[in-house]
């Protein structure tokens, strides 16, 4: 069946099976491989994207559920050659090592700051509980999100 | 020029924060097919038959294969065996044929147009298994009547290995004023890099060449092992490429069945074949770590001087052996059991054991965390027994700074000596940072209020580099462990560095560029670092064992020195000066005392690349390759202090402070070093409090997904307070030691010792990890929970 959605500001269509996951359509049909897949039980959050302005794990959304939706992925963040403040903060604060969780972590952080403009450290730690990172021990991720919140 | 030792932002990051980086799952090749592996649900079973007829007819399926289809391909090699003893080796086949020894063993593979179709067809394969009794506990597996896994391994024993002096240690224990005994369980962990494994095989019939993209920490080693020991293909006919790799922690070092499998499938089907591991597969089919059952005996004088340390360990190695499985619980464990201490007598005996569980191999720290856990629990048990301050018992037994180089007793390090250290300095700095005296007063005060604070110590050493080659070879490793580097400065003055190390999050593209830019006195932007592709790169051993700086960076340094020497000879020729009178400084070569007679390194690079006028015998181009085999490991050290509060009502442990003083020698990039320490601490803390792989008695992995295995979230971990002392290593000219694993090695016992210190009023002397609230609560309430002094 046909689905259409706006992805990073661009109207896109795909012919999908009803069982296909949004993350597979983003990656395999639209070529947006910045959104990673880290598990098969919706724990890790590596596949987090914004759907209609809310963070969702794209492995728990069927492609058909995203019909008509606005999707923002990591590829859509950089505007006019400028990094999004959260991207910039992750770079500045060494908030990533292997980088695999990073796109999902950044999308979650954007959602977090949108809904709580000045989160404290505890709120940040709680707010990113749905995203696992195995490299950083989270310390610099928390600092990066705090720094980004100041700039947004 | 000031970039060495600076927190330069990582050059890797722009592609990672924009989604541009290409991990293995992101790679698409024309005509590519997708593979899915059928895995055994039984931990121990005979394979009576495999019927793939129906699966072959499924839509989208191109081929279905079983182990019998690849019967000519030998089982994978075990490249690191226990040194000096008999090893009873059994390893996995690319698909098992007759018998499986753990859940998750591959028995068939479907190749289809897409992964959905491949997975659908897996469900149509019928396997007739004859289940056999299973055993999952290493000690039980050695006992009479236990299920036997392999004919060549009676009582499931893989090896029986020892180090140190048994008779001397026994004698010293007998003569000791105090002897403390304890059983310690170092539970099984699942490494869980956020990117699971994957591989893409491609075959060219025209040239008879193979290309393998794979999630690898050591692409050259994968090529070597694949060529020489598995497929029998000439080494130069395989190219291995590790694309962006999403973490490894040891688990991506090894040769796994799926890697040769995609290559032979690509050849048979004439199209590229991709296999991407799911997380559930990752939990049963990728290596686990730790899993020791250890009994310690430690002798001491009444004032806390350790007189002898004796250790026996059952090391659970799984149903079949992984590539480096046997070196971890032997060389990297037993030989590290003196830690930072001047123990006069040490003996360690390890039995490696088969059980019906997933393969066990190196996981961050690899043997050294297990050794440090045994040691640091031993010190605390002695302190508790003698009612001494655990910090002072450590200090009393430290190797003093003037004793270096220091060889642990009983030739424990098999001929090597610790390079340098000042262990008391790190301890003192940690004590100062936590304000130890006042902290103890606060603890006493809190206890009177019914709040239970605990202060836990861990003083540690690490051995980085896993070299010299001759040493590690004598320890049973079947290859060398030097590292390579090539440095080329092109006509335009731009530099390309190729390293045999493999970065999967460590930041080599930044740190090695800092080193080169600083040495050559050129802009950081004029240097690029390349790695992870066997094509066009000298052979290298890869990244593990905290060796990329301790060995890899030193190879880079050597190549740069050779370029500088050549630059001086060329400048002497151009300036008509004596080469001995020339100085290399800040990117220029000039005649000492005559700064007007100068050539910049860029001018020299152009001249040597053009080759119009070179000194006699000099070849064109700055292009230097080094193979650096270090004379010793390097030995970082430090002290970590963890402060916890345990809630008596819930048994919940809260980390109030975590202070880490680490000495990793000279530092290239402090930001990256801190990041490595943070991540290491997180994994060690998580072993102490949360993680543990659980098998039921049938050998089913109960903690078989991220729903069930406790990879910690941000809310479960503390902030880390890090600081350093700097004791340069005399082993290499950079004075560097390495940092990749220190955090993991140090942190686990610091947390456990802190919790047990908090539980001191309850008389609890030992608890096995993970220290879940339930376990802690039960221990606190075992004697009625009246808080009586134990």
Please tell me the predicted confidence (pLDDT) of residue B595: 87
Question: Cα separation of B47 and B99, whole Å?
Answer: 5
Mean pLDDT, range B248-263, rounded to an integer: 98
SS3 per residue for B657-690: EEEEEEECECCCCHHHHHHHHHHHHHHHHHHHHC
Peptide bond into B404 cis (omega under 30): no
pLDDT category, B612, cuts 50, 70, 90?
very high
Question: Cα separation of B486 and B610, whole Å?
Answer: 20
- Does B35 score more than 70 pLDDT? yes
- Name residues whose C-beta falls within 8 Å of residue B641's C-beta, 6 or more positions apart in sequence: B430, B431, B433, B434, B436, B455, B456, B457, B458, B657, B658, B659, B750
Question: Cα separation of B402 and B623, whole Å?
Answer: 42
Torsion of CA B538, B541, B544, B548, to 10 degrees: -40
pLDDT category, B790, cuts 50, 70, 90?
very low
- Name residues whose C-beta falls within 8 Å of residue A47's C-beta, 6 or more positions apart in sequence: A23, A35, A36, A37, A38, A57, A58, A59, A104
Give residue for tokens 């990749």.
B740
For residue B189, which residues of chain A lie inside 8 Å, CB to CB?
Answer: none
- pLDDT per residue as tens digits for the range A72-129: 999 999 999 999 999 999 999 999 999 999 999 999 999 999 999 999 999 999 999 9
Question: Cα separation of B755 and B762, whole Å?
Answer: 12
Within the 5-24 window of chain A, which residues sit less than 8 Å (CB to CB) from chain B? 17, 19-20
> Token digits for A79?
């505007």
Going from the C-alpha of B139 to that of each of B135, B294, B326, B350, B429, the distances in angstroms are 10, 10, 17, 12, 41
- Among A37, A41, A137, select the one facing B706 at the smallest CB separation: A41
Buried b or exposed e, range A111-128, using 16+ CB within 10 angstroms: bbbeeeeebeeebbbebb
Question: Cα separation of A138 and B64, whole Å?
Answer: 43
- For an interface test with A, give the residue of B6, B7, B18 to mutate (most A CBs within 10 A): B18
The DSSP output letter for B77 is P
Q: Kindly report the nearest CA distance between residue B34 and chain A, in angstroms.
A: 13
**What 3-state class would DSSP assign to B339?**
coil
B788 and B762 in contact (C-beta within 8 Å)? yes
- pLDDT per residue as tens digits for the range B559-570: 999 999 999 999
Within the 68-127 window of chain A, which residues sit less than 8 Å (CB to CB) from chain B? 73-75, 77-78, 83, 87, 90-92, 94, 96-103, 106, 121, 124-126
**Closest to B365 (Cα-Cα) out of B285, B463, B286:** B463
Question: Cα separation of B117 and A19, whole Å?
Answer: 12
From the centroid of its chain, how far is CA B310?
25
Mean pLDDT, range B250-262, rounded to an integer: 98
Share of chain B above pLDDT 90, in %: 98
Please tell me the predicted confidence (pLDDT) of residue B562: 98
- Among A39, A98, A139, select the one facing B706 at the smallest CB separation: A39
For residue A62, which residues of chain B lie inside 8 Å, CB to CB?
Answer: none
> Token digits for A62?
């069927």
| A-to-B residue pairs, Cβ atoms closer than 8 angstroms | 174
Mean pLDDT, range B683-705, rounded to an integer: 98
State how beta strands B157-164 and B483-489 pair: unpaired
Mean pLDDT, range B218-234, rounded to an integer: 96
**What 3-state class would DSSP assign to B722?**
strand
CATH 3.10.20.30 is right for the domain spanning A2-75: yes
Please tell me the predicted confidence (pLDDT) of residue B1: 46
- In B427-540 the beta strands, taken as DSSP E runs, fall at 452-461, 483-489, 495-499, 527-530
State how beta strands B637-646 and B495-499 pair: unpaired
- pLDDT per residue as tens digits for the range B387-411: 999 999 999 999 999 999 999 999 9
Residues forming CATH 3.10.20.30 domain(s) in chain A: 2-75
B689 and B683 in contact (C-beta within 8 Å)? no
CATH number listed for the domain at residues A85-151: 1.10.150.120
> What Rg value do the Cα atoms of chain A yield, rounded?
15
Q: Which residue of B has its CA nearest to A37?
A: B195
Q: Kindly report the nearest CA distance between residue B704 and chain A, in angstroms.
A: 11
- Among A28, A33, A137, select the one facing B720 at the smallest CB separation: A137
Going from the C-alpha of B634 to that of each of B300, B419, B450, B638, B660, the distances in angstroms are 29, 6, 45, 14, 19
> Token digits for A143?
């600092």
pLDDT category, B785, cuts 50, 70, 90?
low
CA angle B213, B504, B710 (to 5 degrees): 105
Please tell me the predicted confidence (pLDDT) of residue B467: 83
Mean pLDDT of chain B: 97
- Name residues whose C-beta falls within 8 Å of residue A81's C-beta, 6 or more positions apart in sequence: none
Please tell me the predicted confidence (pLDDT) of residue B21: 98
Residues forming CATH 1.10.150.120 domain(s) in chain A: 85-151
From the centroid of its chain, how far is CA B540?
17
- Among B22, B246, B280, select the one facing A40 at the smallest CB separation: B280
**Closest to B40 (Cα-Cα) out of B108, B92, B93:** B108
> Token digits for B732?
């290499």
B352 and B82 in contact (C-beta within 8 Å)? yes
- For an interface test with B, give the residue of A35, A88, A98, A144 to mutate (most B CBs within 10 A): A98
- Among B505, B671, B715, select the one facing A98 at the smallest CB separation: B505
> Token digits for B58?
């499924």
B4 and A88 in contact (C-beta within 8 Å)? no
Q: Kindly report the nearest CA distance between residue B259 and chain A, in angstroms.
A: 20
Mean pLDDT, range A128-140, rounded to an integer: 98
Please tell me the predicted confidence (pLDDT) of residue B654: 98
- pLDDT per residue as tens digits for the range A28-85: 999 999 999 999 999 999 999 999 999 999 999 999 999 999 999 999 999 999 999 9
Please tell me the predicted confidence (pLDDT) of residue B2: 75
B647: exposed, middle or buried (C-beta count within 10 Å: 0-12, 13-18, 19+)? middle
- Does B789 score more than 50 pLDDT? no
**Closest to B657 (Cα-Cα) out of B722, B710, B712:** B722
Question: Cα separation of A14 and A25, whole Å?
Answer: 8
């Amino acid at each position: 069946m046909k689905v259409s959605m706006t992805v990073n500001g661009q109207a896109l269509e795909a012919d999908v099976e009803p069982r296909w996951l949004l993350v597979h359509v983003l990656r395999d049909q639209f070529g947006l491989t910045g959104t990673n897949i880290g598990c098969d039980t919706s724990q890790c959050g590596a596949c987090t994207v914004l759907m209609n302005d809310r963070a969702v794990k794209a492995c728990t959304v069927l492609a058909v559920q995203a019909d008509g939706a606005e999707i923002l992925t990591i590829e859509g963040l950089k505007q006019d050659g400028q990094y999004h403040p959260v991207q910039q903060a992750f770079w500045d604060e060494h908030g990533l090592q292997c980088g695999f969780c990073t796109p999902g972590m950044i999308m979650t952080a954007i959602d977090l700051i949108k809904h709580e403009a000045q989160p404290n450290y505890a709120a940040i730690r709680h707010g990113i509980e749905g995203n696992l990172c195995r490299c950083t021990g989270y310390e610099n991720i928390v600092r990066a999100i705090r720094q980004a919140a100041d700039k947004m | 020029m000031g970039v060495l030792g600076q927190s330069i932002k990582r050059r890797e990051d722009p592609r990672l924060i924009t989604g541009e980086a290409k991990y293995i799952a992101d790679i698409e090749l024309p005509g590519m097919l997708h593979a899915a592996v059928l895995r055994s649900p039984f931990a121990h079973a005979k394979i009576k038959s495999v019927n793939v007829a129906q699966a072959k007819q499924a839509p989208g399926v191109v081929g279905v294969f079983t182990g019998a289809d690849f019967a000519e391909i030998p089982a994978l090699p075990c490249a690191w065996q226990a040194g000096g003893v008999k090893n009873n080796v059994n390893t996995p086949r690319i698909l098992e044929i007759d018998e499986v020894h753990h859940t998750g063993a591959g028995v068939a593979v479907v190749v289809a147009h897409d992964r959905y179709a491949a997975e659908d067809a897996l469900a149509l394969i019928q396997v007739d298994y004859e289940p056999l009794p299973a055993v999952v506990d290493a000690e039980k597996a050695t006992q009479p009547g236990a299920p036997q896994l392999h004919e060549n391994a009676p009582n499931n024993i893989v090896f029986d290995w020892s180090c140190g002096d048994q008779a001397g240690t026994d004698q010293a224990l007998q003569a000791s004023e105090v002897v403390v005994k304890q059983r310690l369980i170092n539970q099984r962990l699942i490494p869980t890099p956020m990117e699971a494994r994957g591989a893409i095989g491609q075959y060219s019939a025209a040239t008879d060449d193979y290309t393998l993209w794979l999630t690898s920490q050591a692409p050259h080693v994968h090529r070597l092992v694949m060529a020489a020991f598995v497929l029998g293909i000439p080494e130069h006919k395989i190219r291995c490429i590790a694309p962006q790799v999403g973490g490894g922690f040891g688990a991506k070092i090894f040769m796994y069945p799926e890697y040769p499998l995609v290559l032979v499938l690509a050849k048979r089907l004439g199209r590229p074949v991709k296999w991407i591991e799911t997380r559930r597969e990752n939990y049963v089919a990728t290596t686990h770590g730790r899993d020791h059952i250890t009994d310690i005996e430690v002798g001491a004088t009444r004032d806390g001087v350790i007189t002898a340390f004796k250790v026996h360990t059952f090391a659970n190695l799984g149903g079949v052996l992984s590539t480096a499985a046997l070196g971890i619980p032997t060389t990297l464990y037993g030989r590290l059991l003196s830690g930072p201490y001047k123990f006069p007598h040490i003996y360690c005996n390890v039995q490696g054991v088969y059980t019906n569980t997933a393969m066990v191999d190196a996981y961050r720290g690899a043997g050294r965390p297990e050794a440090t856990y045994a040691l640091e629990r031993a010190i605390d048990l002695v302190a508790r027994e003698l009612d001494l301050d655990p910090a002072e018992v450590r200090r009393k037994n430290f190797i003093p700074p003037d004793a270096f180089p220091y060889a642990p007793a009983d030739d424990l390090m098999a001929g090597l000596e610790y390079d340098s250290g000042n262990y008391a300095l790190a301890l003192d700095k940690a004590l100062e940072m936590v304000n130890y005296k006042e902290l103890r007063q606060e603890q006493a005060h809190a206890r009177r209020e019914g709040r239970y604070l605990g202060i836990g110590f861990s003083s540690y050493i690490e051995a980085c580099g896993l070299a010299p080659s001759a040493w590690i070879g004598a320890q049973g490793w079947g290859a060398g462990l030097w590292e390579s580097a090539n440095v080329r400065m092109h006509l335009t003055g731009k530099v390309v560095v190729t390293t045999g190390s493999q970065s999967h999050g460590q930041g080599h593209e930044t740190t090695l560029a800092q080193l080169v830019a600083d040495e050559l006195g050129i802009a950081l932007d004029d240097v690029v670092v390349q790695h992870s592709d066997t094509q066009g790169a000298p052979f290298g051993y890869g990244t593990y064992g905290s060796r990329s700086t301790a060995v890899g960076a030193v190879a880079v340094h050597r190549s740069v020195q050779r370029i500088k020497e050549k630059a001086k000879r060329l400048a002497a020729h151009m300036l008509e000066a004596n080469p001995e009178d020339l100085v290399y400084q800040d990117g220029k070569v000039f005649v000492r005392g005559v700064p007007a007679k100068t050539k910049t390194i860029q001018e020299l690079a152009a001249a040597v690349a053009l080759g119009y006028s070179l000194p006699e015998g000099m070849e064109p181009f700055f292009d230097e390759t080094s193979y650096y085999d270090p004379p010793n490991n390097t030995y970082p050290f430090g002290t970590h202090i963890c402060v916890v509060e345990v809630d008596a009502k819930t048994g919940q442990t809260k980390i109030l402070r975590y202070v880490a003083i680490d000495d990793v020698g000279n530092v290239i990039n402090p930001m990256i070093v801190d990041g490595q320490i943070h991540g290491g601490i997180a994994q060690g803390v998580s072993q102490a409090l949360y993680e543990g792989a659980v098998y039921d008695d049938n050998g089913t992995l109960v903690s078989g997904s991220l729903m069930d295995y406790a990879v910690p979230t941000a809310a479960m971990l503390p902030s880390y307070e890090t600081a350093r002392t700097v004791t340069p290593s005399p082993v290499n000219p950079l004075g560097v030691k390495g940092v990749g694993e220190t955090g993991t090695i140090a942190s686990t016992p610091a947390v456990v010792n802190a919790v047990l210190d908090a539980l001191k009023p309850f008389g609890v002397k030992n608890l096995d990890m993970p220290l879940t609230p339930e376990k802690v609560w039960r221990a606190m309430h075992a004697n009625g929970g009246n808080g009586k002094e134990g």
